[in-house]
Amino acid sequence: MEKRNLRKERIGVVTSNKMQKSIVVSETKKIKHPKYGKFVLKTKKYVAHDEENTCNEGDTVRIMETRPLSKNKCWRLVDVIERAK
């Protein structure tokens, strides 16, 4: 029986769905500055594969790491947590 490694998962908000079968997901973290102690917002963008084109901008989604699907797309959509209002 083959054992698969654990895949990284991220939760973020869809910022763009203008591509076919692809979405851009933004993950925002609050990180404390090492010297000054102020909390700073850091944003990271991921391009994810959306097979059915179900996501819209503003949706909160869960994405999972996968093999490279294109030049900069190596994540796929797992599920939509919350739809945009």
The sign of the dihedral angle between the CA atoms of 69, 25, 31, 81 is negative
pTM (two decimals): 0.87
Q: Is the pLDDT of residue 2 over 90?
A: no
Residue with the larger pLDDT of the pair 12 and 1: 12
Domains of the chain: 9-82 (2.40.50.140)
CA dihedral 19, 48, 55, 79 (to 10 degrees): 160
